Structure 1
Amino acid sequence: MQKKLLAATLLATISSTHVFAADAIVVDNQPAEDIVLPAPKNWSLQITPYMWASGLKGNISPFKRAPSMEVEKSFSDIVKDLNFGGFVDFRGRYEDFIFAGDLMYINTTDVENIGKLPVIGNVQGLSATVDSAQFTATLKGGYRIYNDETVSLDLLGGVRIWHISNDVTLRYKNFSESHKESFSWVDPIIGFRAFINFTPDLSLQLQGDGGGFDVGSKKTWQGLATLNYTFTEHLSASAGYKYLRVDYKSGGHIYDTTLKGPVLGVTYRF
Protein backbone atom coordinates (compact mmCIF):
# COMPACT_ATOMS: atom_id res chain seq x y z
CA MET A 1 0.00 0.00 0.00
CA GLN A 2 2.78 2.40 0.90
CA LYS A 3 4.61 1.50 -2.31
CA LYS A 4 1.45 2.20 -4.34
CA LEU A 5 0.97 5.59 -2.59
CA LEU A 6 4.63 6.54 -3.18
CA ALA A 7 4.36 5.59 -6.85
CA ALA A 8 1.17 7.64 -7.32
CA THR A 9 2.76 10.68 -5.66
CA LEU A 10 5.88 10.42 -7.85
CA LEU A 11 3.72 10.08 -10.99
CA ALA A 12 1.66 13.17 -10.09
CA THR A 13 4.83 15.19 -9.45
CA ILE A 14 6.39 14.16 -12.78
CA SER A 15 3.11 14.95 -14.63
CA SER A 16 2.75 18.44 -13.09
CA THR A 17 6.39 19.20 -13.90
CA HIS A 18 5.81 18.27 -17.54
CA VAL A 19 2.70 20.44 -17.71
CA PHE A 20 4.55 23.46 -16.22
CA ALA A 21 7.44 22.97 -18.63
CA ALA A 22 5.04 22.78 -21.55
CA ASP A 23 3.33 26.03 -20.47
CA ALA A 24 6.69 27.75 -20.15
CA ILE A 25 7.64 26.73 -23.67
CA VAL A 26 4.37 28.10 -25.05
CA VAL A 27 4.91 31.48 -23.35
CA ASP A 28 8.54 31.70 -24.35
CA ASN A 29 7.67 30.97 -27.97
CA GLN A 30 4.57 33.19 -28.18
CA PRO A 31 4.28 34.54 -31.76
CA ALA A 32 5.29 38.19 -32.14
CA GLU A 33 1.91 39.13 -33.63
CA ASP A 34 0.18 38.08 -30.42
CA ILE A 35 2.23 40.49 -28.26
CA VAL A 36 0.31 43.70 -27.55
CA LEU A 37 2.52 46.80 -28.07
CA PRO A 38 1.79 50.34 -26.83
CA ALA A 39 -0.33 52.35 -29.28
CA PRO A 40 1.63 54.97 -31.25
CA LYS A 41 1.15 58.61 -30.25
CA ASN A 42 -1.20 60.46 -32.59
CA TRP A 43 -0.26 63.90 -31.25
CA SER A 44 3.06 65.69 -31.71
CA LEU A 45 3.68 69.10 -30.13
CA GLN A 46 6.64 71.48 -30.13
CA ILE A 47 7.50 75.03 -29.03
CA THR A 48 10.32 77.24 -30.36
CA PRO A 49 11.37 80.47 -28.66
CA TYR A 50 13.60 82.33 -31.09
CA MET A 51 15.56 85.51 -31.69
CA TRP A 52 14.98 87.56 -34.83
CA ALA A 53 17.77 90.05 -35.65
CA SER A 54 15.46 92.10 -37.85
CA GLY A 55 15.84 95.54 -39.34
CA LEU A 56 12.85 97.77 -40.13
CA LYS A 57 12.13 99.87 -43.19
CA GLY A 58 8.97 101.61 -44.39
CA ASN A 59 6.45 104.38 -43.89
CA ILE A 60 4.47 104.75 -40.67
CA SER A 61 1.86 107.22 -39.48
CA PRO A 62 2.20 107.39 -35.68
CA PHE A 63 -1.38 108.60 -35.28
CA LYS A 64 -4.55 108.97 -37.32
CA ARG A 65 -4.43 111.23 -40.39
CA ALA A 66 -0.95 112.49 -39.50
CA PRO A 67 1.62 112.63 -42.30
CA SER A 68 3.62 109.43 -42.49
CA MET A 69 7.25 109.22 -41.40
CA GLU A 70 9.89 107.35 -43.36
CA VAL A 71 11.62 104.90 -41.04
CA GLU A 72 14.77 102.88 -41.68
CA LYS A 73 16.46 101.12 -38.77
CA SER A 74 19.08 98.43 -38.56
CA PHE A 75 18.88 95.67 -35.96
CA SER A 76 21.42 97.53 -33.79
CA ASP A 77 19.22 100.66 -33.91
CA ILE A 78 16.22 98.64 -32.78
CA VAL A 79 18.18 96.99 -29.96
CA LYS A 80 19.31 100.42 -28.75
CA ASP A 81 15.68 101.58 -28.50
CA LEU A 82 14.26 98.23 -27.35
CA ASN A 83 12.28 98.00 -24.11
CA PHE A 84 11.06 94.43 -24.60
CA GLY A 85 10.87 91.90 -27.40
CA GLY A 86 9.70 88.32 -27.58
CA PHE A 87 9.22 85.73 -30.35
CA VAL A 88 7.77 82.23 -30.06
CA ASP A 89 6.60 79.63 -32.58
CA PHE A 90 4.47 76.61 -31.69
CA ARG A 91 3.24 73.71 -33.79
CA GLY A 92 1.12 70.63 -33.40
CA ARG A 93 0.07 67.69 -35.54
CA TYR A 94 -2.66 65.12 -35.12
CA GLU A 95 -2.13 62.40 -37.70
CA ASP A 96 -2.11 64.49 -40.93
CA PHE A 97 -3.87 67.56 -39.52
CA ILE A 98 -1.62 70.54 -38.75
CA PHE A 99 -1.96 73.64 -36.60
CA ALA A 100 0.70 76.32 -36.11
CA GLY A 101 1.17 79.69 -34.46
CA ASP A 102 3.81 82.41 -34.45
CA LEU A 103 3.66 85.22 -31.84
CA MET A 104 5.75 88.39 -31.92
CA TYR A 105 5.83 91.41 -29.59
CA ILE A 106 8.18 94.40 -29.84
CA ASN A 107 8.16 97.53 -27.65
CA THR A 108 10.56 100.42 -28.37
CA THR A 109 11.14 104.01 -27.30
CA ASP A 110 12.63 106.27 -29.97
CA VAL A 111 13.89 109.66 -28.84
CA GLU A 112 16.22 110.80 -31.61
CA ASN A 113 15.89 108.93 -34.88
CA ILE A 114 12.23 109.52 -35.67
CA GLY A 115 12.75 111.36 -38.93
CA LYS A 116 11.09 114.66 -39.83
CA LEU A 117 7.64 115.69 -38.64
CA PRO A 118 6.20 117.44 -41.70
CA VAL A 119 3.43 119.24 -39.75
CA ILE A 120 5.92 120.98 -37.47
CA GLY A 121 9.12 120.95 -39.47
CA ASN A 122 12.53 121.50 -37.91
CA VAL A 123 12.21 123.64 -34.80
CA GLN A 124 15.22 124.60 -32.66
CA GLY A 125 14.95 122.95 -29.25
CA LEU A 126 12.08 120.63 -30.21
CA SER A 127 12.34 117.03 -29.07
CA ALA A 128 10.00 114.15 -29.68
CA THR A 129 9.60 110.74 -28.11
CA VAL A 130 7.74 107.87 -29.76
CA ASP A 131 6.82 104.82 -27.70
CA SER A 132 5.78 102.08 -30.11
CA ALA A 133 4.45 98.58 -29.55
CA GLN A 134 3.73 95.96 -32.19
CA PHE A 135 1.98 92.63 -31.59
CA THR A 136 1.58 90.13 -34.43
CA ALA A 137 0.01 86.68 -34.18
CA THR A 138 -0.02 84.31 -37.15
CA LEU A 139 -2.40 81.37 -36.63
CA LYS A 140 -2.73 78.63 -39.25
CA GLY A 141 -4.24 75.20 -39.72
CA GLY A 142 -3.95 72.73 -42.54
CA TYR A 143 -3.25 69.25 -43.83
CA ARG A 144 -0.13 67.24 -44.64
CA ILE A 145 -0.58 66.31 -48.30
CA TYR A 146 2.72 64.46 -48.78
CA ASN A 147 5.05 62.64 -46.43
CA ASP A 148 7.92 60.18 -46.85
CA GLU A 149 11.32 59.63 -45.24
CA THR A 150 12.86 62.55 -47.13
CA VAL A 151 10.18 65.19 -47.78
CA SER A 152 6.97 66.39 -46.13
CA LEU A 153 4.63 69.10 -47.44
CA ASP A 154 1.80 70.89 -45.59
CA LEU A 155 -0.84 73.22 -47.05
CA LEU A 156 -2.01 75.86 -44.55
CA GLY A 157 -4.54 78.66 -44.18
CA GLY A 158 -5.41 81.06 -41.40
CA VAL A 159 -5.10 84.65 -40.20
CA ARG A 160 -2.45 87.16 -39.21
CA ILE A 161 -3.55 89.53 -36.42
CA TRP A 162 -1.87 92.93 -36.04
CA HIS A 163 -2.04 95.46 -33.21
CA ILE A 164 -0.01 98.70 -33.38
CA SER A 165 0.19 101.24 -30.55
CA ASN A 166 1.99 104.60 -30.61
CA ASP A 167 2.44 107.21 -27.89
CA VAL A 168 3.96 110.43 -29.26
CA THR A 169 5.23 113.19 -26.93
CA LEU A 170 6.47 116.52 -28.28
CA ARG A 171 8.53 118.77 -26.00
CA TYR A 172 9.56 122.38 -26.60
CA LYS A 173 11.21 124.18 -23.66
CA ASN A 174 8.66 123.95 -20.82
CA PHE A 175 5.84 122.81 -23.08
CA SER A 176 4.91 119.21 -23.82
CA GLU A 177 2.04 117.57 -25.62
CA SER A 178 1.23 113.83 -25.84
CA HIS A 179 -1.06 111.79 -27.99
CA LYS A 180 -1.64 108.04 -27.78
CA GLU A 181 -3.40 105.95 -30.37
CA SER A 182 -3.66 102.31 -31.43
CA PHE A 183 -5.17 100.40 -34.32
CA SER A 184 -5.66 96.75 -35.27
CA TRP A 185 -6.60 94.59 -38.23
CA VAL A 186 -6.76 90.96 -39.34
CA ASP A 187 -5.39 89.53 -42.60
CA PRO A 188 -6.53 86.21 -44.09
CA ILE A 189 -3.56 84.19 -45.35
CA ILE A 190 -2.77 80.99 -47.23
CA GLY A 191 0.58 79.22 -47.30
CA PHE A 192 2.72 76.11 -47.17
CA ARG A 193 5.46 74.47 -45.11
CA ALA A 194 7.98 71.89 -46.31
CA PHE A 195 10.70 69.84 -44.63
CA ILE A 196 13.59 68.21 -46.48
CA ASN A 197 15.59 65.67 -44.49
CA PHE A 198 19.25 65.37 -45.48
CA THR A 199 20.10 62.97 -42.63
CA PRO A 200 18.12 61.72 -39.60
CA ASP A 201 19.47 64.74 -37.66
CA LEU A 202 19.82 67.48 -40.31
CA SER A 203 16.91 69.07 -42.20
CA LEU A 204 15.84 72.15 -44.13
CA GLN A 205 12.57 73.95 -43.45
CA LEU A 206 10.91 76.18 -46.07
CA GLN A 207 7.82 78.18 -45.15
CA GLY A 208 5.81 80.88 -46.89
CA ASP A 209 2.41 82.57 -46.77
CA GLY A 210 0.62 85.52 -48.31
CA GLY A 211 -2.65 87.34 -48.00
CA GLY A 212 -4.35 90.53 -46.96
CA PHE A 213 -6.45 90.72 -50.17
CA ASP A 214 -7.72 94.18 -49.10
CA VAL A 215 -9.66 92.53 -46.27
CA GLY A 216 -7.28 93.92 -43.64
CA SER A 217 -4.14 95.16 -45.32
CA LYS A 218 -3.66 95.59 -49.04
CA LYS A 219 -1.09 92.80 -48.94
CA THR A 220 1.09 90.87 -46.54
CA TRP A 221 3.50 88.02 -47.07
CA GLN A 222 6.10 86.13 -45.08
CA GLY A 223 8.99 83.82 -45.92
CA LEU A 224 11.16 81.66 -43.66
CA ALA A 225 14.04 79.28 -44.36
CA THR A 226 15.93 77.48 -41.59
CA LEU A 227 18.53 74.74 -41.27
CA ASN A 228 17.66 72.45 -38.34
CA TYR A 229 19.76 70.04 -36.29
CA THR A 230 18.32 67.48 -33.87
CA PHE A 231 20.35 66.80 -30.72
CA THR A 232 17.94 64.49 -28.89
CA GLU A 233 14.41 63.17 -29.26
CA HIS A 234 13.12 66.32 -27.55
CA LEU A 235 15.65 69.05 -28.40
CA SER A 236 16.82 70.68 -31.63
CA ALA A 237 18.18 74.04 -32.85
CA SER A 238 17.57 76.06 -36.01
CA ALA A 239 19.18 78.98 -37.83
CA GLY A 240 18.03 80.82 -40.94
CA TYR A 241 16.39 83.93 -42.36
CA LYS A 242 12.91 85.48 -42.04
CA TYR A 243 11.11 88.15 -44.07
CA LEU A 244 7.79 89.84 -43.17
CA ARG A 245 6.06 92.43 -45.35
CA VAL A 246 2.80 94.36 -44.83
CA ASP A 247 1.12 97.26 -46.61
CA TYR A 248 -1.75 98.66 -44.53
CA LYS A 249 -3.55 101.95 -45.20
CA SER A 250 -6.99 102.44 -43.68
CA GLY A 251 -8.93 105.00 -41.67
CA GLY A 252 -6.08 107.49 -41.76
CA HIS A 253 -3.56 104.98 -40.41
CA ILE A 254 -0.51 103.89 -42.37
CA TYR A 255 1.72 100.91 -41.62
CA ASP A 256 3.73 100.03 -44.72
CA THR A 257 6.81 98.15 -43.48
CA THR A 258 9.30 95.40 -44.14
CA LEU A 259 11.05 93.44 -41.40
CA LYS A 260 13.85 91.05 -42.35
CA GLY A 261 16.90 89.43 -40.81
CA PRO A 262 18.47 86.20 -39.50
CA VAL A 263 16.71 83.99 -36.95
CA LEU A 264 18.04 81.60 -34.33
CA GLY A 265 15.81 79.28 -32.29
CA VAL A 266 15.71 76.30 -29.93
CA THR A 267 12.89 73.76 -30.20
CA TYR A 268 11.50 71.50 -27.47
CA ARG A 269 9.27 68.59 -28.50
CA PHE A 270 6.75 67.06 -26.11
Structure 2
Amino acid sequence: MRDSAPVSRGSEAANWALQITPYLWASGLRGEVAPFRAGPTVGVSKSFGDVLDTLNFGGFLHVWHRNGRFVASADAMLVDTTESRAIERVPIFGPVRGLSAKADTREINATLQAGYRIVETAPFTLDLLAGARLWKVSTKVTVSYGNFAVSLRESLDWVDPVIGLRAFYGLTDRLSIQAQGDIGGFGVGSRLTWQVVATANYVLTDRLSLSAGYKILKTDYRSGGQVFDTTLQGPVAGLTYRF
Protein backbone atom coordinates (compact mmCIF):
# COMPACT_ATOMS: atom_id res chain seq x y z
CA MET A 1 0.00 0.00 0.00
CA ARG A 2 1.16 3.49 -0.74
CA ASP A 3 3.68 4.65 1.89
CA SER A 4 2.19 2.33 4.49
CA ALA A 5 4.13 -0.87 4.25
CA PRO A 6 3.73 -2.50 7.66
CA VAL A 7 6.84 -3.57 9.48
CA SER A 8 7.65 -4.89 12.90
CA ARG A 9 9.98 -3.17 15.32
CA GLY A 10 12.63 -5.70 14.47
CA SER A 11 12.55 -5.06 10.73
CA GLU A 12 12.49 -1.28 11.28
CA ALA A 13 15.61 -1.59 13.37
CA ALA A 14 17.39 -3.82 10.83
CA ASN A 15 20.16 -2.20 8.80
CA TRP A 16 18.67 -3.13 5.41
CA ALA A 17 15.05 -3.54 4.27
CA LEU A 18 13.07 -3.93 1.05
CA GLN A 19 9.25 -3.99 1.03
CA ILE A 20 6.87 -4.45 -1.92
CA THR A 21 3.20 -3.65 -1.44
CA PRO A 22 0.42 -4.09 -4.00
CA TYR A 23 -2.63 -2.28 -2.64
CA LEU A 24 -6.23 -1.26 -3.26
CA TRP A 25 -7.41 2.32 -3.08
CA ALA A 26 -11.20 2.82 -2.96
CA SER A 27 -10.95 6.43 -4.07
CA GLY A 28 -13.61 8.89 -5.07
CA LEU A 29 -12.87 11.86 -7.33
CA ARG A 30 -13.93 15.49 -7.24
CA GLY A 31 -12.70 18.70 -8.81
CA GLU A 32 -12.47 20.39 -12.22
CA VAL A 33 -11.02 18.93 -15.43
CA ALA A 34 -10.37 20.38 -18.89
CA PRO A 35 -8.25 17.86 -20.82
CA PHE A 36 -8.63 19.69 -24.16
CA ARG A 37 -7.07 23.11 -24.69
CA ALA A 38 -10.07 24.37 -26.66
CA GLY A 39 -12.65 22.64 -24.48
CA PRO A 40 -14.64 23.76 -21.45
CA THR A 41 -13.76 23.09 -17.81
CA VAL A 42 -16.07 20.43 -16.40
CA GLY A 43 -16.88 19.85 -12.74
CA VAL A 44 -16.41 16.26 -11.59
CA SER A 45 -17.83 14.58 -8.48
CA LYS A 46 -17.72 10.79 -8.35
CA SER A 47 -17.96 8.34 -5.48
CA PHE A 48 -15.86 5.18 -5.52
CA GLY A 49 -18.96 3.32 -6.76
CA ASP A 50 -19.24 5.73 -9.69
CA VAL A 51 -15.57 5.22 -10.55
CA LEU A 52 -15.92 1.45 -10.26
CA ASP A 53 -18.81 1.44 -12.76
CA THR A 54 -16.51 2.88 -15.45
CA LEU A 55 -13.27 1.10 -14.46
CA ASN A 56 -11.41 -1.01 -17.02
CA PHE A 57 -8.25 -1.45 -14.95
CA GLY A 58 -6.75 -0.12 -11.74
CA GLY A 59 -3.33 -1.00 -10.36
CA PHE A 60 -1.40 0.36 -7.37
CA LEU A 61 2.10 -0.58 -6.20
CA HIS A 62 4.43 0.77 -3.56
CA VAL A 63 8.11 -0.14 -3.02
CA TRP A 64 10.13 0.91 0.03
CA HIS A 65 13.89 0.45 0.49
CA ARG A 66 16.26 1.36 3.31
CA ASN A 67 20.00 0.91 3.68
CA GLY A 68 21.23 2.18 7.02
CA ARG A 69 19.78 5.66 7.39
CA PHE A 70 19.31 6.16 3.63
CA VAL A 71 15.77 5.51 2.35
CA ALA A 72 13.99 5.44 -1.00
CA SER A 73 10.44 4.83 -2.17
CA ALA A 74 8.49 4.45 -5.40
CA ASP A 75 4.73 4.55 -5.66
CA ALA A 76 2.86 4.06 -8.93
CA MET A 77 -0.76 3.95 -10.01
CA LEU A 78 -2.51 3.26 -13.30
CA VAL A 79 -6.25 3.80 -13.70
CA ASP A 80 -8.08 3.23 -17.01
CA THR A 81 -11.78 4.13 -17.35
CA THR A 82 -14.41 4.32 -20.08
CA GLU A 83 -17.60 6.36 -19.76
CA SER A 84 -20.37 6.36 -22.37
CA ARG A 85 -23.58 8.33 -22.60
CA ALA A 86 -26.28 9.26 -25.09
CA ILE A 87 -26.50 12.88 -26.26
CA GLU A 88 -30.15 13.86 -26.38
CA ARG A 89 -29.82 17.53 -27.20
CA VAL A 90 -27.33 19.64 -29.14
CA PRO A 91 -27.13 23.45 -28.79
CA ILE A 92 -28.68 25.26 -31.77
CA PHE A 93 -29.91 22.00 -33.36
CA GLY A 94 -32.07 20.97 -30.40
CA PRO A 95 -33.13 17.35 -29.63
CA VAL A 96 -31.35 14.56 -31.55
CA ARG A 97 -31.59 10.78 -31.69
CA GLY A 98 -28.81 8.22 -32.14
CA LEU A 99 -25.98 10.52 -31.04
CA SER A 100 -23.61 9.27 -28.33
CA ALA A 101 -20.25 10.08 -26.81
CA LYS A 102 -17.58 7.89 -25.20
CA ALA A 103 -14.64 9.11 -23.10
CA ASP A 104 -11.62 6.87 -22.52
CA THR A 105 -9.30 8.17 -19.81
CA ARG A 106 -5.99 6.76 -18.63
CA GLU A 107 -4.29 8.29 -15.58
CA ILE A 108 -0.73 7.36 -14.64
CA ASN A 109 1.31 8.86 -11.83
CA ALA A 110 4.45 7.80 -10.05
CA THR A 111 6.06 9.35 -6.98
CA LEU A 112 9.80 8.71 -6.62
CA GLN A 113 11.57 9.87 -3.47
CA ALA A 114 14.83 9.41 -1.62
CA GLY A 115 15.93 10.67 1.76
CA TYR A 116 17.53 10.22 5.15
CA ARG A 117 16.34 8.86 8.47
CA ILE A 118 16.69 11.84 10.81
CA VAL A 119 15.24 10.15 13.92
CA GLU A 120 15.77 6.51 14.86
CA THR A 121 14.74 5.59 18.39
CA ALA A 122 12.87 2.39 19.18
CA PRO A 123 9.98 2.29 18.56
CA PHE A 124 9.83 5.59 16.58
CA THR A 125 11.46 6.61 13.30
CA LEU A 126 11.19 9.73 11.14
CA ASP A 127 12.43 10.04 7.55
CA LEU A 128 12.98 13.22 5.54
CA LEU A 129 12.24 12.76 1.82
CA ALA A 130 12.51 14.63 -1.48
CA GLY A 131 11.80 13.69 -5.07
CA ALA A 132 9.30 14.08 -7.88
CA ARG A 133 5.77 13.07 -8.85
CA LEU A 134 5.31 12.28 -12.56
CA TRP A 135 1.88 12.60 -14.19
CA LYS A 136 0.38 11.52 -17.52
CA VAL A 137 -3.37 11.92 -18.10
CA SER A 138 -4.61 10.83 -21.54
CA THR A 139 -8.17 11.40 -22.75
CA LYS A 140 -9.86 10.21 -25.94
CA VAL A 141 -13.42 11.36 -26.72
CA THR A 142 -15.37 9.65 -29.52
CA VAL A 143 -18.68 11.05 -30.78
CA SER A 144 -20.79 8.60 -32.83
CA TYR A 145 -23.86 9.00 -34.99
CA GLY A 146 -24.93 5.79 -36.71
CA ASN A 147 -21.89 4.46 -38.62
CA PHE A 148 -20.11 7.80 -38.45
CA ALA A 149 -17.63 8.52 -35.64
CA VAL A 150 -15.08 11.22 -34.92
CA SER A 151 -12.43 11.11 -32.18
CA LEU A 152 -10.31 13.68 -30.39
CA ARG A 153 -7.31 12.69 -28.27
CA GLU A 154 -5.12 14.80 -26.00
CA SER A 155 -2.84 14.28 -23.00
CA LEU A 156 -1.45 16.21 -20.05
CA ASP A 157 2.13 15.49 -18.95
CA TRP A 158 4.04 17.17 -16.15
CA VAL A 159 6.48 16.62 -13.28
CA ASP A 160 6.15 18.03 -9.76
CA PRO A 161 9.03 18.33 -7.27
CA VAL A 162 7.92 17.15 -3.81
CA ILE A 163 9.28 17.13 -0.27
CA GLY A 164 7.89 15.10 2.61
CA LEU A 165 8.12 13.16 5.86
CA ARG A 166 7.44 9.55 6.85
CA ALA A 167 6.81 8.63 10.48
CA PHE A 168 6.57 5.13 11.96
CA TYR A 169 5.63 4.06 15.48
CA GLY A 170 5.68 0.46 16.66
CA LEU A 171 2.95 -0.19 19.23
CA THR A 172 3.89 -3.84 19.70
CA ASP A 173 6.07 -6.37 17.88
CA ARG A 174 3.18 -6.96 15.44
CA LEU A 175 1.09 -3.78 15.47
CA SER A 176 2.23 -0.36 14.24
CA ILE A 177 0.97 2.92 12.88
CA GLN A 178 2.49 4.94 10.07
CA ALA A 179 1.91 8.25 8.33
CA GLN A 180 3.51 9.87 5.32
CA GLY A 181 2.87 13.18 3.65
CA ASP A 182 4.40 15.35 0.97
CA ILE A 183 3.82 18.69 -0.71
CA GLY A 184 5.12 20.07 -3.98
CA GLY A 185 4.46 21.48 -7.41
CA PHE A 186 5.34 25.06 -6.45
CA GLY A 187 4.49 26.24 -9.97
CA VAL A 188 7.14 24.03 -11.59
CA GLY A 189 4.57 21.54 -12.87
CA SER A 190 1.30 22.00 -11.06
CA ARG A 191 0.46 25.01 -8.95
CA LEU A 192 0.25 22.76 -5.91
CA THR A 193 0.16 19.06 -5.10
CA TRP A 194 0.04 17.30 -1.76
CA GLN A 195 -0.82 13.92 -0.35
CA VAL A 196 -1.26 12.29 3.04
CA VAL A 197 -1.65 8.62 3.90
CA ALA A 198 -2.01 7.05 7.35
CA THR A 199 -2.37 3.37 8.17
CA ALA A 200 -2.49 0.79 10.92
CA ASN A 201 -0.29 -2.20 10.15
CA TYR A 202 -0.24 -5.80 11.42
CA VAL A 203 2.57 -8.31 10.92
CA LEU A 204 1.26 -11.75 9.91
CA THR A 205 4.56 -13.59 9.41
CA ASP A 206 8.25 -12.74 9.11
CA ARG A 207 7.57 -11.84 5.46
CA LEU A 208 3.93 -10.76 5.20
CA SER A 209 1.98 -7.87 6.71
CA LEU A 210 -1.43 -6.25 6.29
CA SER A 211 -2.26 -2.53 6.26
CA ALA A 212 -5.45 -0.50 6.30
CA GLY A 213 -5.97 3.24 6.40
CA TYR A 214 -6.84 6.35 4.40
CA LYS A 215 -5.18 8.30 1.58
CA ILE A 216 -5.73 11.76 0.03
CA LEU A 217 -4.03 13.08 -3.11
CA LYS A 218 -4.67 16.67 -4.22
CA THR A 219 -3.35 18.25 -7.44
CA ASP A 220 -4.00 21.63 -9.07
CA TYR A 221 -2.50 21.71 -12.59
CA ARG A 222 -3.36 24.46 -15.12
CA SER A 223 -1.47 25.14 -18.32
CA GLY A 224 -2.36 26.34 -21.83
CA GLY A 225 -6.08 25.96 -21.27
CA GLN A 226 -5.76 22.46 -19.82
CA VAL A 227 -6.94 21.93 -16.24
CA PHE A 228 -6.54 19.02 -13.84
CA ASP A 229 -7.64 20.28 -10.43
CA THR A 230 -8.70 17.16 -8.54
CA THR A 231 -8.83 15.49 -5.16
CA LEU A 232 -8.63 11.70 -4.89
CA GLN A 233 -9.44 10.26 -1.47
CA GLY A 234 -10.62 7.05 0.11
CA PRO A 235 -9.67 3.97 2.18
CA VAL A 236 -6.58 1.93 1.32
CA ALA A 237 -5.68 -1.69 2.08
CA GLY A 238 -2.55 -3.57 1.14
CA LEU A 239 -0.44 -6.69 1.56
CA THR A 240 3.30 -6.23 2.05
CA TYR A 241 6.07 -8.72 1.30
CA ARG A 242 9.38 -8.03 3.03
CA PHE A 243 12.72 -9.32 1.79
TM-score normalised by length of structure 2: 0.89
- Is the CA contact 1:67–1:119 (under 8 Å) kept in the aligned structure 2? no
The residue aligned with 1:192 is 165
Q: CA deviation at 1:122?
A: 7.3
- The alignment-based identity, stated in percent, is 51
The equivalences for 1:132-151 within 5 A come to 132-151=105-124
Q: What amino acid is aligned across from residue 240 of structure 1 in structure 2?
A: G
Q: CA deviation at 1:241?
A: 0.2
Q: Provide the C-alpha distance between the structure 1 equivalents of 2:138 and 2:232, rounded to a whole number of angstroms.
A: 17
Larger radius of gyration: 1
Q: Provide the C-alpha distance between the structure 1 equivalents of 2:222 and 2:121, rounded to a whole number of angstroms.
A: 43
Which residue among 190, 205, 208 is the counterpart of 2:181? 208
- Is the CA contact 2:35–2:156 (under 8 Å) kept in the aligned structure 1? no
More strand per residue: 2
Q: Are the structure 2 counterparts of residues 147 and 118 from structure 1 closer, same or farther at C-alpha, using a change threshold of 3 Å?
A: farther
How many residue pairs match? The answer is 230
The residue aligned with 2:71 is 98
The residue aligned with 2:155 is 182
Q: CA deviation at 1:172?
A: 3.3
Name which of structure 1's ranges 168-177 and 101-110 shifts more when overlaid on structure 2.
Answer: 168-177
Q: Are the structure 2 counterparts of residues 147 and 234 from structure 1 closer, same or farther at C-alpha, using a change threshold of 3 Å?
A: same
Q: Provide the C-alpha distance between the structure 1 equivalents of 2:171 and 2:165, rounded to a whole number of angstroms.
A: 20
RMSD of Structure 2 on Structure 1 (CA): 2.3
Name which of structure 1's ranges 252-261 and 60-69 shifts more when overlaid on structure 2.
Answer: 60-69
Any gaps of 5 or more consecutive residues in structure 1? 1-39
Any gaps of 5 or more consecutive residues in structure 2? 1-12
Q: Are the structure 2 counterparts of residues 123 and 59 from structure 1 closer, same or farther at C-alpha, using a change threshold of 3 Å?
A: farther
- Is the CA contact 1:145–1:155 (under 8 Å) kept in the aligned structure 2? yes
Q: CA deviation at 1:58?
A: 1.1
Q: Are the structure 2 counterparts of residues 189 and 143 from structure 1 closer, same or farther at C-alpha, using a change threshold of 3 Å?
A: same
SS of match in other structure, 1:210: strand
SS of match in other structure, 1:111: strand
More helix per residue: 1
Cα offsets for 1:92-143 (capped at 9, x unmatched):
00100000011000000011399x9998897533321100000000000000
The residue aligned with 1:128 is 101
Which residue among 201, 218, 233 is the counterpart of 1:228? 201
Q: Provide the C-alpha distance between the structure 1 equivalents of 2:205 and 2:90, rounded to a whole number of angstroms.
A: 56
